[in-house]
């Protein structure tokens, strides 16, 4: 009976850990949704226009970045899509070089930043030695 109780405790502990991870992923995804809108800024000294919108009935968040001088250029800009997959928050970056790195999110120990680390990549042959492999987003508490 003692070993059964021990096993049940381990299973419940495992389930609570998964629920916590899922909760953090969902919270981070919901927080990203609050960034919806159009933004102007600079990237490596170049003016940019960023549009963030929720799509796919709330299941995906799309981040589009264009040069500020040509915000309506639909073909020549990178696109990043954030989405939940099980208990993980993922992103797929559709690079203007033709590759598609995927990254998985994790919360920093202080709980203030969501970091995305490289998971895998499609169309690696187009990477030409470089690809996006890390991103981070501040998360207010």
Q: Find out whether 31 and 105 touch, Cβ atoms under 8 Å.
A: no
Domain of residue 77 covers 2-138
pLDDT of residue 134: 58
**β-sheet bridge partners, residue 118:** 103
Residue 113: pLDDT over 90: no
Domains identified in the chain, total number:
1
Alpha-carbon distance of 91 to 121, in angstroms, equals: 11
Residue 2: pLDDT over 60: no
Q: How confident is the model at residue 124 (pLDDT cuts 50, 70, 90)?
A: low
The answer to whether the Cα torsion of 94, 70, 44, 110 is positive or negative is negative
* Residue 14, domain CATH: 2.40.128
Average pLDDT, stretch 76-92?
90
Q: How confident is the model at residue 133 (pLDDT cuts 50, 70, 90)?
A: low
What's the chain's average pLDDT? 74
């Amino acid at each position: 009976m003692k070993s059964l109780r021990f096993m049940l405790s381990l299973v419940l502990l495992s389930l609570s850990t998964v629920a916590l991870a899922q909760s953090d992923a969902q919270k981070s995804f919901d927080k990203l949704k609050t960034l919806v809108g159009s933004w102007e800024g600079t990237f490596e000294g170049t003016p940019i226009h960023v549009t963030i919108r929720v799509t796919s009935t709330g299941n995906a968040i799309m981040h589009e970045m264009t040069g500020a001088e040509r915000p309506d250029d639909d073909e020549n800009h990178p696109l990043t899509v954030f989405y939940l997959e099980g208990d993980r928050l993922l992103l797929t970056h559709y690079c203007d070089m033709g590759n598609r790195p995927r990254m998985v999110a994790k919360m920093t120990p202080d709980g203030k930043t969501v970091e995305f680390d490289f998971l895998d990549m499609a169309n690696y042959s187009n990477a030409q030695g470089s690809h996006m492999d890390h991103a981070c987003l501040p998360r207010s508490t």
